[in-house]
Structure 1
Amino acid sequence: MELSPTERTRLRRLREQGRSDRAALFAVLGAGFVCHLGVVLDGAPMVVPTVYGFDDDFLYFHGSVASRSLAGGQTVCVTVTHVDGLVLARSVFEHGVNYRSAMVYGLPRALDGDDKLAGLRVLSEHAAPGQWDYARRPSRKELAATSIFALSLDEASVKIAEGPPGDGDGPDAALGLWAGVVPIESVRRPPEPDPALPGDITAPAHITALAT
């Protein structure tokens, strides 16, 4: 399925890095669990890092910090970015970054009742699959103190930069300087137990499976 371009999502430079299919959006969202939420609070812009989850139609995010602003109803911009490499060229001008990024625009909807619980489940399962059924569920008091928002994925853009430096076939290639990419990746390591845990409580399989 194709993404629907809008004036806000239309790429104005480096259009060749854009991706127009929804699968590319899901791939970028699926590779992380922290997004940056851009809102206007008291007339000034604010960008808040927060956790998220998603399904085929919505992005769900924890919005307590920005809930006062979002409760009034305003368009937001949510971004997710993964840095995959530092691109070192023969000239400083050609240096760059290999990355995957997504931007989602829209008017978020505050969830309540069963919808809030369902949104929390999506968020939790996205970060750590299996944890929702393993850990204690939120109490009514905890649920009331939590703000969860749903943002439609209808207005989104995806941009991906990849590959070596772009000056390999230009005049700077004759300089005799090294050029290439320094790969960067995020790694989940084996879980570290809480020091307060009794010695006979071991990490369940769904937690140990998170390590890569």
Structure 2
Amino acid sequence: MSSTPAAYQPTPRSIPTRSRERASYDREVVHAILDEGYVCHLGFVRDGAPVVLPTLYARSGERLYVHGSTGSRPLRGAGAGLAVCLTVTHLDGLVLARSAFHHSINYRSVVVHGTAYQVTDPGERALALDAIVEQAVPGRAADSRPADAKELAATAVIRLDLQEVSAKIRTGGPTDEPADITLPYWSGVVPVTRTYAAPIAADDLDPTIPVPAYLSPAGPRGA
């Protein structure tokens, strides 16, 4: 009985040219970074020029689903397969060194190369769209009306298998030059965190409908 390897196989495209020691191909590390986010940047070539689009995504096992409009020419073209590069990044801190050259950021990122395909099977499309809603707001898919036929017809979903994948992570403080240590400039890290404010009800919401528990401060996307 075969088991899933603990790490993705590095490829020439997934090996960084700089700071290779920050790269990781560990499957759990990659999944954790992907699962914490819900906005990705999808890069591809259109009419000979590079295009990068921000959009929503979700991970389901070893597959990413990406949401878009059927009016999007590249997503329509994904039916025959579209070469893409998808990235997800979390900013964890601003790293302030004594020299301007050594300023940096602490981050966690994932880069996925591959061929994306349009999802046409109705069952898979429904699962993918639910997963995208859940990735952004866990608990919301079951607490909203599913898309009807007209809405589904206007929505494109593409899938991208996790095969050529790498993570890259920077942690820690600045790397000042020894000669700069005595300079009179503050040096350190300014942590950056993502927070959610209290939910704001729609103007036409029935006042008897309470804020869902999954939006509470204790919830996964709570305030």
The answer on 1:120 being equivalent to 2:121 is no
Q: Which residues of 2 match residues 25-174 of structure 1 at below 5 A?
A: 25-64=30-69, 65=72, 66-112=74-120, 113-167=122-176, 170-174=178-182
CA separation in 1, counterparts of 2:100 and 2:214? 45
The C-alpha deviation readout for 1:126-181, integer Å capped at 9, x for no partner, is 111111111001111111111011100111110001110011x6110021321001
Q: Unaligned regions of 5+ residues in structure 2, if any? A: 1-5
The residue that corresponds to 2:3 in the other structure is none
The residue that corresponds to 1:5 in the other structure is 10
Detail structure 1 runs of 4+ shifted over 3 Å in the superposition.
none
**Share of identical aligned residues, percent?**
41
Q: How many residues align structurally?
A: 211
CA separation in 2, counterparts of 1:144 and 1:74? 20
CA separation in 2, counterparts of 1:120 and 1:145? 12
State the superposition RMSD in angstroms: 1.3
Contact 2:80/2:117 (<8 A) preserved? no
The C-alpha deviation readout for 1:111-136, integer Å capped at 9, x for no partner, is 12111111111111111111111100
The residue that corresponds to 2:222 in the other structure is 211
TM-score by length of 2: 0.90
The C-alpha deviation readout for 1:26-54, integer Å capped at 9, x for no partner, is 11111110000001112211100000000
Following superposition, the deviation at residue 72 of structure 1 comes to 4.3
Following superposition, the deviation at residue 18 of structure 1 comes to 0.8
Following superposition, the deviation at residue 185 of structure 1 comes to 1.2
Q: Unaligned regions of 5+ residues in structure 1, if any? A: none
